[in-house]
Amino acid sequence: MAAIVHTSIILDTRRALKDGTYPLKLRLTWLRQRKYFLTPYSLTEEDFAKTQGEKPRGKYKELQIAFQAIELRAVETINKLEIFSFEAFEKRFLDVANKQDVLACFANKIESLKKDGRVGTAESYASACASLLAYSNKKVILFSSLTPEFLKLYEKWMLSKGKSLTTVGIYLRTLRAIFNDAISSGEISLGQYPFGKRKYQIPVGRNIKKALVLSDIERIFNYKPKNDSEAKARDLWIFSYLCNGINIKDIARLRYKQIEPDRITFVRSKTERTSRQNPKVITAMRTPEVDEIIDRWGVSPRNPESYVFPLLAEGLTPEGELASVRLATKSINKYMKRIAASEGIEKPVTTYAARHSFSTVLKRSGASIEFISESLGHSDLKTTESYLDSFEDNVKKKFSSVLTAFKKEVE
């Protein structure tokens, strides 16, 4: 009969850490031999004692559950080994542990995104991972430790470090996606999910309206550039505004074969992966202003496979493409800021403002939200609604006057 392996969670009080706590370890005892495996936790002796009580409360109850999960995972690993040895256990246990480690899952996700060429999204995940690592100051973060209470404290910490609610939301949505992936693959249970009603709800950043009023857009159209750099930035901003708010990456990727006699068609790079089976083709109508911009800045000769604008070189890696798009965006924003200052436009005139202005001007003209949503390439009307700015003050005054129109009749 094989010797029984005993498991236990112990506090190693032989040497305190810098913060005064002691590391928590998993101890295996087999054939009178003992081996210790480090866990992500460290506690004071007092706090550890509270986790060992019969009815711990609050965070101590959560810690007790987390410790029990570690020990249960160890027992399951031992039972799956045909022949037990400390070496065999360590190899399999650490492999399982990696799947329970949020940071390891982040690393795998980032690597996968890079392989798919989604460098920008990979950077977003990397930033979120770095933030979580800075807050926890641990090399391993188990899914079981990310409770609603942990996330609330993490949010407060980020805000105290000057992060905006928008950034907090971005970081925590990537973390939520990591949880969803782990649940889908069966690595963790749905009961470990800390998001949702009565749990932790991701904050929504204040939606600062970015659309310009028509009078400001008119000033941009009529502006006389002082040099070619201003002229090119102004024209590409107008091109974006007139072509359904097309973003700079999609402008850069635009090829002559996508320019038809009366229209320009494209699929947003942002959604091309998720809509591959049913790509959402966006149609922007050609106008004299659009044609003039292509004539001024378009690449010659106009081969069907050539890029329309000289913003990208052929054969770039995903990293190289991202760098080129960012450089172009930075340049446009730089010169549009100068133009805005020269024309007395108070709102930021960025490439993002062009997209918001397109949708908001359509809204104010009476276009349906369904039409605007289709023009932007959105699959959800709620996304479109978040783009739409409120009406201008003079429009509000016009409708407010209707409320007291009876007074004029009396007078």
Cis peptide before 301 (omega within 30 of 0): yes
- CB of 203 closer than 8 Å to CB of 165: yes
- CB of 202 closer than 8 Å to CB of 176: yes
E-strand ranges in 208-286 read: 263-267, 281-285
Nearest residue to 272 (alpha-carbon basis) of 304, 249, 244: 249
The pLDDT score that the predictor gives to residue 44 is 93
In a 3-state reduction of DSSP, which class is residue 11?
Answer: strand
Residue 332 buriedness (CB in 10 A; 0-12 / 13-18 / 19+): buried
The model's pLDDT over 278-315, given as tens digits with 9 standing for 90+, comes to 678 888 899 999 999 999 999 999 999 999 999 999 99
H or E, element range at 23: strand 22-30
- Residues in contact with 101: Cβ distance below 8 Å, sequence separation at least 6, in sequence order: 40, 140, 141, 142
- Residues in contact with 264: Cβ distance below 8 Å, sequence separation at least 6, in sequence order: 243, 254, 258, 283, 284, 285, 286, 290
Half-sphere exposure of 372 (CA within 13 A, CB side): 24
User: With a cut of 70, which residues of the chain have pLDDT below it?
Assistant: 1-3, 95-97, 205-209, 272-278, 379, 383-411
Neighbouring-strand partners of residue 36: 27
- Residues in contact with 384: Cβ distance below 8 Å, sequence separation at least 6, in sequence order: 359, 369, 372, 373, 376, 378
In a 3-state reduction of DSSP, which class is residue 342?
Answer: helix
The pLDDT score that the predictor gives to residue 58 is 82
CA angle, 311 as apex, 230 and 383 as ends, to 5°?
Answer: 85
Statement: the pTM of the whole predicted model exceeds 0.85:
no
Sign of CA dihedral 250, 352, 366, 385: positive
